[in-house]
C-alpha cells in the first residue's frame, strides 16, 4: 500500500507544479510611437533628406510620393512599406 502511495503523491505534486501560472513578462520600454522602432536610423535620414522638415501627414505623404517614384533605397522602401502595412487595421 505504501509503495502505491508515493508515486501517487509525486504524480499529483507534478501535475500541480506543471499547472502553476508563469510569471508575467517584463514590460517593454515605451517608445515615442509604435512605428518609430521599426524604421532604422539610416532610413529616417533618407526620409529627412528627401522630405526636408515635413512632419505628420505631410511627412507621410512625402514618403509615399518618394516610394512611388522609387527614390528610397530598396532596404528603406521595404521598411517604410512594412511600417505602413503595420499601421493599417486588419479587417
Q: Where are the domains of the chain?
A: 34-91
Please provide the DSSP assignment of 15-51 as one string. HHHHTSPPPPPPPPPP-SSTTTTTS-HHHHHHHHHHH
Contact at 8 Å (CB) between 21 and 62?
no
* CA gap 43, 60 in Å, rounded: 13
Q: Does the predicted model carry a pTM greater than 0.95?
A: no
- Work out the average pLDDT over 3-14: 52
Nearest Cα to 74, choosing from 82, 21, 87? 82
User: What are the tens digits of pLDDT across the range 19-50?
Assistant: 555 555 554 444 344 444 588 999 999 999 99
Cell numbers linked to 63: 514618403
76 — pLDDT class (breaks 50, 70, 90):
very high
Amino acid at each position: 500500500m505504501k509503495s502505491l502511495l508515493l508515486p501517487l503523491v509525486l504524480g499529483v505534486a507534478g501535475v500541480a507544479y506543471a499547472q502553476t501560472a508563469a510569471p508575467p513578462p517584463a514590460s517593454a520600454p515605451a517608445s515615442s510611437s509604435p512605428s518609430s522602432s521599426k524604421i532604422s536610423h539610416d532610413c529616417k535620414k533618407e526620409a529627412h533628406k528627401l522630405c526636408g522638415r515635413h512632419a505628420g501627414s505631410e511627412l507621410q505623404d512625402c514618403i509615399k510620393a518618394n516610394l512611388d517614384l522609387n527614390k528610397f533605397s530598396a532596404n528603406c522602401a521595404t521598411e517604410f512599406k512594412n511600417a505602413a502595412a503595420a499601421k493599417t487595421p486588419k479587417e
